[in-house]
Structure 1
Amino acid sequence: MNLPCLPAARGAPARRRVLSALAAAGAFALVGCASPRIEDHANDEPVLDLREYFDGRVRAYGVFHDRFGRLQRRFIVEIDGRWQGDVGTLDERFAYPDGTTSRRVWTLRREADARYTGTAADVVGTAVGQARGNALRWRYTLQLPVGDRVYDVQFDDWMYLMDGRVMLNKAVMSKFGIRLGEVTLTFVKE
C-alpha cells in the first residue's frame, strides 16, 4: 500500500501508525454495523409476553416508507387475538385510506425460552421470534403482491412494549439482502 500523503522523512514508523489507525477505524466501523441482539433487552421492563398482550382486541396504526424514506402507504390494523395455552390466533384486518382492505390470520406458538413460531397463509415457511425483557425480534418471509406479481420479501421486526397498552414496532423489509423499506407501527391494546 502506498501512502503518498506521508512525507518521505517520516518513513515506515509513520506508515505503520497510519495503517494501525485505519485498521482501528475499520474495526470500529464493523462494530457499528453489527445488528442489535435480543439479549440486550433482557432487563428491560415491562416484560413482553405475546400471550398477554395479544389476548383480546388491539388496534395498530402504521406507515410504510420506501428505501428513500418516502411515505408510500398508511394503514390501520384491527387485531383480534385468542390464546389457548401456548397456541394463539391473531386475526389481523388491514384498512388503507384508498378503501382497500386485506386480512392475515396468524397461528402462533410459544416455545421454550420465550421463543415463538408462527404461520399464516401469505407467510413462506415458519416465522421465528424470541422475546427478552420488553422486546421481541420476529423474522419471516412474506408473499407481497405488487400489481400482477407476488414477491417473497423478508421482514425483520423489532417490537418494544412501552407499557401495558402501547407497543412500538419497527420492521425492515428486504429482498436478497437489499433494504426495500421500513414499516413502523404503534399497537394500542383496547
Structure 2
Amino acid sequence: MSVFLAFLFGALAMLALLVLRARTLTFPAQKPGDYAGKGPAFDIRRHLNGPILCEGVIYGPTGRVASRFVADIEARWDGNTGTMAEEFRYDSGATQSRCWNFTLGNDGCIRAEAPDVVGSGEGWQKGSGVHLRYRIRLPEESGGHVLDAIDWMYLLENGTIMNRSQFRKFGIPVAELVATLRPKEAS
C-alpha cells in the first residue's frame, strides 16, 4: 500500500505544480496591470476605429498551423460605445462574419458582445495592452463547441496591433490565434 500512496502523492504534487505553473507563468497569467504605464497608450476608440486589415493564422492543439485568414474590419465609435464588423476569409475558402458591440467604462473596463459569444466578454485596456475574456460558440461545421477565449492585443509604436488569442476547452488549450491589425490603406 505504501508504494501506491507514494505514487499518488507524487502524481498529486505534479498536478499541483502544473496548476501553479499555468496560473503564474503562462499566457493566461498576464494581467492588465502588467502593461499600465507602458506606451504607446492603447485607446480602443482610436486604434480600433475605421477600416482595418487583419491577417493571421490559427494554430491547432499540436502547434501546427490549422488555418490562415484575412479579415476586413469596420469599427465605429460613438463616445464609449462601439461596433466592430468583421468579415473573415479563410484559406479553405470559407467565410465568416461577426459583429461585436463594445462598451468602454471610464476606468478602462470593456464589455463585449457578439452573436456567437455566450453571455458577454469582459476586459480592460491599460497602457499598451488590451485584454478580453469571453466564451465563444464555434460554428456547427466546426463542431459547435463552446470555448473559453483569452485575447491580448498589444499596440506597437507604428500603430500596428498584435493580437494573440488562446482558446481552451475544459482548461486545455485547443487553439491559438496570432494576427496583426492595422489601418487599411486608402485605395
Deviation at 1:66, TM superposition (A): 1.0
Match of 1:86 among 80, 87, 111: 80
Deviation at 1:74, TM superposition (A): 0.3
Cα RMSD between the aligned structures?
2.0
Whole-angstrom CA distance in 2 between matches of 1:122 and 1:146: 11
Aligned length: 165
Runs of 4+ in 1 over 6 A off after TM superposition: none
TM-score by length of 2: 0.82
C-alpha deviations, 1:43-86, integer Å up to 9, x for none?
11110011001110111101010121111000011100111111
Match of 1:137 among 112, 115, 131: 131
The answer as to whether partners of 1:38 and 1:137 remain within 8 angstroms in 2 is yes
Aligned residue in 2 for 1:95 = 89
TM-score by length of 1: 0.81
Counterparts of 1:29-178 in structure 2, within 5 Å, are 30=21, 31-32=24-25, 35-147=29-141, 149-163=143-157, 165-178=159-172
Deviation at 1:32, TM superposition (A): 3.6
Whole-angstrom CA distance in 1 between matches of 2:78 and 2:36: 26
Whole-angstrom CA distance in 2 between matches of 1:54 and 1:32: 29
The answer as to whether partners of 1:144 and 1:150 remain within 8 angstroms in 2 is yes
The answer as to whether partners of 1:168 and 1:187 remain within 8 angstroms in 2 is yes
